[in-house]
């Protein structure tokens, strides 16, 4: 079980949420629960004018994410950053690594990265990085060395007698899965003919042989290297592909890696990508890894969007309770990882038809789920993009008029992804989507029960209303979403609710949330937090 730091920082601030002014205390707990922000470095902010985002650009924009001053409302309130791959790679996306111990020169230097970690630590931000260990690049020195040795017959000697190492003596042969039989997912090595290698995703991404103890030791060394550099943990890519179609072996590998990392850094945070159905995702919690992305609730067909479209709030709260029970039954320390879209999905603003009310309500639904939520950069300003992957990773729009720091689009992007307002414009609008995200995160930072609490679904007599309580260390808050197309009046006259007060309000129009004499009135598509 992870060590939880019991250091609590209390700050007092006046908070304006929705249409009501609430004065509450910020209550930041330094543990594994965070509000994460996913960054594709290439498209985030360009500090040197070469058209490519970089690490120095993230440093320049840290105040946008977290200005280290809880008295202000200028920042998002982020306290966790997930960096998509930053290691050297021949591709724009960098999911095919050529050196696991360096920073891609397009993004900067190791000194830049160390400075980023230092600046984040000053703000209480934990940084996790993408770790791609299912495969390497076909241009990785390991793979290139192995290819050279394939045609050289074993010499049969204790020490290789060939100028180039033969197949018998080159350890990198066993770093990959080579075969003289062409199997599904295998590609020809080229010369010499008759040799093939596994590369399930692409011929430029040869799969690593994760059954090889030396490969596992190498991956352990890689993890330790980056933990030593100051990262808080890792997002593990492609967990279902370690051993394609074999959940048991995938979980075993993850458990081995997780155990090794915890042995080095007790409070390391690991979140895995298991793009699968609910039953499959839940099984990966047997690995002991902290979190797995909640794909069943995400994307255009997930429960969050279907709840908004169908206005089935009561069913959503029951599904939340069931999901938490499911994963906690497997690992009581499990931390859910809700999101609405990421770098592999069409952007949420697109599949929500750029309807601001729907975008705000989707944000409210998933951000109020217990666990670690993950915002995909630009989601908070309604960026759009779909189709080919490059379109989902377009430049962050800092302003519609000032182009400073705005990057070039990734190569082969064929979609402009135009929106009417960027960060600069939305910061001036109290009713903007960006301001709504700021308000949500501030409410969460006031109420640690939301992320950490045990959920209990509550039915308030209306199928369009989602209601549940979240209890953490003897303290309980209530979250209520009205998904109806009209105002609702809810009966909260029971003894359980008699002392509750409005703790936070999130409204998508000019309506007002009130709680008087046991009657809670909520406008359409709104959220309230009671305590």
Tell me whether residue 237 is one of the annotated catalytic residues.
yes
Instruction: Mark residue 44 as left, alpha or beta (left: phi above 0; alpha: psi -120 to 50; beta: remaining).
Output: alpha
Q: How many CA atoms lie within 13 A of 312 on its CB side?
A: 12
Buried b (16+ CB within 10 A) or exposed e, 320-350: bbebbeebbeebeebbbbbbbbbbebbbbbb
- Locate all alpha helices (DSSP H) within 244-333, ordered by sequence: 247-264, 278-283, 303-310, 313-330
475-482, strands of its sheet edge to edge: 454-458, 465-472, 475-482, 526-530, 502-507
Q: Write down how long the chain is.
A: 531
How far is the C-alpha of 380 from the C-alpha of 306, rounded, in Å?
20
Tell me whether residue 79 is one of the annotated catalytic residues.
no
**192 preceded by cis ω (within 30°)?**
yes
Residue 13 CB neighbours (<10 A) = 16
**Could you tell me which of 319, 403, 327 has the C-alpha nearest to residue 366?**
319
Cα-based distances in Å from 428 to 63, 73, 74, 418, 466? 16, 12, 10, 19, 31
* Beta carbons of 488 and 528 less than 8 angstroms apart: no
Question: Rounded to 5 degrees, what angle do the CA atoms 296, 300, 301 make?
Answer: 50
* Beta carbons of 403 and 326 less than 8 angstroms apart: no
**Could you tell me which of 42, 163, 149, 160 has the C-alpha nearest to residue 105?**
42
126-131, strands of its sheet edge to edge: 291-292, 269-272, 233-236, 126-131, 80-83, 35-39, 373-376
Cα-based distances in Å from 234 to 58, 133, 369, 382? 18, 11, 22, 27
Cα-based distances in Å from 108 to 38, 50, 111? 19, 12, 8
- What is the bridge-based pairing of β-strands 269-272 and 233-236? parallel
Considering the candidates 114, 237, 252, 321, report the single residue annotated as catalytic. Answer: 237
Residues belonging to the active site? 237, 273
């Amino acid at each position: 079980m992870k060590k939880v730091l019991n250091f609590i920082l209390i700050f007092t601030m006046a908070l304006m949420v929705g249409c009501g002014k609430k004065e509450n205390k910020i209550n930041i707990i330094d543990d594994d629960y965070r509000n994460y922000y996913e960054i594709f470095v290439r498209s985030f902010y360009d500090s040197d004018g070469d058209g490519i985002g970089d690490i120095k650009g993230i440093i320049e924009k840290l105040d946008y994410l977290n200005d280290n001053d809880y008295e202000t409302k200028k920042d998002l309130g982020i306290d966790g950053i997930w960096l998509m791959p930053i290691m050297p790679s021949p591709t724009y996306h960098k999911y095919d690594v050529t050196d696991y111990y360096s920073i891609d020169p397009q993004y900067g230097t190791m000194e830049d990265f160390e400075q980023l970690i230092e600046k984040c630590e000053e703000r209480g931000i934990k940084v996790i990085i993408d770790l791609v260990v299912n495969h390497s690049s076909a241009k990785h020195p390991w793979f290139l060395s192995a290819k050279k040795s394939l045609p050289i017959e074993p010499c049969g000697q204790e020490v290789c007698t060939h100028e180039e190492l033969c197949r018998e003596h080159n350890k990198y042969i066993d770093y990959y899965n080579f075969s003289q039989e062409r199997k599904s997912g295998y590609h020809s090595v080229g010369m010499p003919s008759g040799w093939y290698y596994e590369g399930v995703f692409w011929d430029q991404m040869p799969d690593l042989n994760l059954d090889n103890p030396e490969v596992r030791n190498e991956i352990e060394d890689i993890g330790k290297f980056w933990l030593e550099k100051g990262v808080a943990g890792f997002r593990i890519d492609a967990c279902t592909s370690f051993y394609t179609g074999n959940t048991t072996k995938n979980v075993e590998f993850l458990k081995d890696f997780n155990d090794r990392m915890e042995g080095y850094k007790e409070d390391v945070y690991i979140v895995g990508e298991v793009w699968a159905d609910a039953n499959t995702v839940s099984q990966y919690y047997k690995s002991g890894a902290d979190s797995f992305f909640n794909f069943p609730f995400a994307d255009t067909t997930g429960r969050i969007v279907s709840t908004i479209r169908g206005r089935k709030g009561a069913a959503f709260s029951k599904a939340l309770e069931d999901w938490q029970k499911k994963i906690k039954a497997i690992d009581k320390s499990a931390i859910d990882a809700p999101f609405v879209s990421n770098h592999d999905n069409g952007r949420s603003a697109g599949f929500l038809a750029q309807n601001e009310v729907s975008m705000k309500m989707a944000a409210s639904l998933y951000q109020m789920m217990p666990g670690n939520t993950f915002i995909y950069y630009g989601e908070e300003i309604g960026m759009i993009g779909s189709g080919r992957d490059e379109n989902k990773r377009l430049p962050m729009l800092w302003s519609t008029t000032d182009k400073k720091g705005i990057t070039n689009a990734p190569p082969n992007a064929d979609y402009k992804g135009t929106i009417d307002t960027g960060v600069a414009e939305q910061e001036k609008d109290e009713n903007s989507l960006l301001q709504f995200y700021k308000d949500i995160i501030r409410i969460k930072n006031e109420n640690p029960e939301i992320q950490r609490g045990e959920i209990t679904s509550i039915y308030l007599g209306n199928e369009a209303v989602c209601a549940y309580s979240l209890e953490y260390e003897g303290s309980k808050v209530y979250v209520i979403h009205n998904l109806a197309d009209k105002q609702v009046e809810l009966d909260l006259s029971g003894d359980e609710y008699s002392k509750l007060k409005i703790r936070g309000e999130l409204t998508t129009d000019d309506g007002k949330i009130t709680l008087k004499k046991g009657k809670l009135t909520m406008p359409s598509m709104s959220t309230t937090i009671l305590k």
